[in-house]
Amino acid sequence: MAPAMWPLLQAGSLPPLAQPMIIGVALLYFAVVAAIGVWATRQTKSASDFFVAGQGIGLWTMAIAAMAATLSGFAFIGGPGLLYNVGLGAVFIILPIGVTGTLGAWTMAKRLRLLGEVRGLITVPDAIAARFQSRAARGLSAVAMLVAIVGYMATNILALGLVIDAIFGTGLTAGLWIGMAITLAYSVSGGILAGVYTDLFQGGVMALASILVFIYTIKVGGGPAGFAGTILPADAPFLAPWGKMTPLAALSFFFVFGIGSLGQPHVVHKFYMLRDPRKLKWYPMIMSAAIVISQLLFIGVGLAVKALVVRGELPPLARADDATPAFLLRFTPLLLSAIVFSGVAAAIMSTVNSFMSVGAAALTHDLPIAFGRKVGNELLWGRISTVAISLVATFVAGMSGTLVAFLGIFGWGLFASTLVPALAIGLNWTGATRAGAIASISTGLVVTLVFETLAFMKVFSFPAGVTATALALVSSLLVFFVVSWFTRHTAASTLSDDVRFVMEV
DSSP 381-420: HHHHHHHHHHHHHHHHHTS-HHHHHHHHHHHHHHHHHHHI
Among 30, 39, 60, 255, binds another protein (CB under 8 A): 255
Closer residue to another protein (CB): 117 or 204: 117
Taking the complex as a whole, how short is the minimal distance between the CB of residue 338 and another protein, in angstroms? 28
Q: In angstroms, rounded to a whole number, what is the distance separating the alpha carbons of residues 185 and 37?
A: 8
Q: How many chain residues bind another protein (CB under 8 A)? A: 78
Which amino acid is it at 139? G
Q: In angstroms, rounded to a whole number, what is the distance separating the alpha carbons of residues 455 and 249?
A: 17
Among 120, 171, 316, 333, binds another protein (CB under 8 A): 120
How far separated are the first and last CA of the chain, in Å rounded?
Answer: 41
Does residue number 98 form part of the binding site for another protein (CB under 8 A)? yes
Does residue number 293 form part of the binding site for another protein (CB under 8 A)? no
Does residue number 46 form part of the binding site for another protein (CB under 8 A)? no
Q: In angstroms, rounded to a whole number, what is the distance separating the alpha carbons of residues 353 and 187?
A: 6
List Cβ neighbours of 314 (8 Å cut-off, separation of 6 or more). 305, 308, 326, 327, 330
Q: What residues numbered 145-204 form the site for another protein, per CB under 8 A?
A: none
List Cβ neighbours of 346 (8 Å cut-off, separation of 6 or more). 29, 68, 201, 202, 203, 205, 206
Does residue number 288 form part of the binding site for another protein (CB under 8 A)? yes
Taking the complex as a whole, how short is the minimal distance between the CB of residue 105 and another protein, in angstroms? 6
Among 16, 169, 229, 333, binds another protein (CB under 8 A): 229
Taking the complex as a whole, how short is the minimal distance between the CB of residue 311 and another protein, in angstroms? 15
Closer residue to another protein (CB): 35 or 234: 234
3-state class (DSSP) for residue 273: helix
Which of 35-43, 94-102, 317-325, 399-407 is the region at the interface with another protein (rule: CB under 8 A)? 94-102
Closer residue to another protein (CB): 280 or 404: 280
Q: What residues numbered 397-416 form the site for another protein, per CB under 8 A?
A: none
Does residue number 464 form part of the binding site for another protein (CB under 8 A)? yes
Among 289, 446, 449, 454, binds another protein (CB under 8 A): 289
Q: What angle do CA 245, 311, 235 make, to 5 degrees?
A: 25
Closer residue to another protein (CB): 29 or 51: 51
Does residue number 474 form part of the binding site for another protein (CB under 8 A)? yes
Which of 34-42, 91-99, 371-379, 397-405 is the region at the interface with another protein (rule: CB under 8 A)? 91-99
Among 15, 16, 169, 241, binds another protein (CB under 8 A): 241
Interface mask toward another protein for 414-443; x: CB under 8 A: ----------xx--xxxx------------
Cβ(202)–Cβ(347) below 8 Å:
yes
Alpha carbon distances (Å) from 25 to 165, 209, 339: 15, 13, 7
3-state class (DSSP) for residue 429: coil
Cβ(160)–Cβ(384) below 8 Å:
no
Taking the complex as a whole, how short is the minimal distance between the CB of residue 36 and another protein, in angstroms? 28
Does residue number 282 form part of the binding site for another protein (CB under 8 A)? yes
